[in-house]
Amino acid sequence: MSSGIISSLKNKFHPAKIKRRFLHYAMKGKAVQCPCCGSSYVTFLPAGLEKRANARCINCDSLERQRTLWLYLNDQQDLLMPGFKMLHIAPEKQFYKRFSVSNGIQYYPGDLFPLKYRHIPNMYKVDVTDVQFGDAFFDCVMCNHVLEHVPNDSKAMQEFYRILKPGGWAILNVPIDMNREKTFEDFTVTDPKKRLELFGQDDHVRLYGSDYVTRLQAAGFSVEVIDYVKKFSHNEQFRYGLKPVELIFLCRKK
């Protein structure tokens, strides 16, 4: 048997894939529906360190935040015009599938570690604090749940502002505690256990507070904080697997 066939069989019968196929059929139902892939189940799977209920789609792995953003973008069709150039940092696979085949969008997926994205053939290596693209090159930037990993986040915000055309937009969502007035960061903390305890994840370098908006504004952006989930009823929030609050930070370059 050739090595190609063996590798293909190994891939097909990988335990994680078998488990997914099993769950996909065992959990079929009508109680929840993933906006990203259309699959319906009796519930989404739990996810996260504290095992949030009704969180992960069995089929496409979307979480609450991706489904919220997906629904928001469906609702805001004029954000994405044919011909737009988009930089998508740390591309979520649901959005990669959507944008890479979207009508006329010139799509640039990028990450500091492009080899992590074996399913994406045309990944760019992009350091968000030193972006290789020229001024005003892009119409839009998507960079979600990345800045909390970046020590010099203000430089990254400045870079996003620089590479956007006037009138361009960026969605720069981060985990945030809006009850916290001031962002907490301490770069002397490098121990993963301590980071987990202080910042909520072992590779985060800060915990954002409501001054996140001020930090974005300091880079030049005008910022709209959108509480999109509140548009949905309690039943709809359950059906789409949304958290009660999942803020969207829409940043525009004047």
Q: Which residues pair with 45 in a beta bridge?
A: 56
Closer Cβ to Zn ion, 64 or 148, answer by number: 64
How far is Cα 246 from Cα 225, in angstroms, rounded to an integer? 10
How far is Cα 168 from Cα 254, in angstroms, rounded to an integer? 8
Shortest Cβ distance from residue 30 to Zn ion (Å)?
15
Shortest Cβ distance from residue 253 to Zn ion (Å)?
32
Closer Cβ to Zn ion, 36 or 219, answer by number: 36
Closer Cβ to Zn ion, 61 or 127, answer by number: 61
Shortest Cβ distance from residue 110 to Zn ion (Å)?
24
The answer to whether residues 109 and 119 touch, using CB atoms and an 8 Å cutoff, is no
Torsion of CA 108, 112, 116, 121, to 10 degrees: 30
Closer Cβ to Zn ion, 34 or 250, answer by number: 34
How far is Cα 53 from Cα 68, in angstroms, rounded to an integer? 16
Q: Which x/- pattern, by CB under 5 A, does the window 132-171 give for Zn ion?
A: ----------------------------------------
How many residues belong to the site for Zn ion (CB under 5 A)? 7
Shortest Cβ distance from residue 67 to Zn ion (Å)?
8
- Residue 129: CA count within 13 A, CB half-sphere: 9
Q: Residues near 155 by Cβ (< 8 Å), separated by ≥ 6?
A: 129, 130
Subset of residues 17 to 76 that bind Zn ion, contact rule: CB under 5 A: 34, 36-37, 57, 59-60, 62
Which residues of this chain interact with Zn ion, rule CB under 5 A?
34, 36-37, 57, 59-60, 62
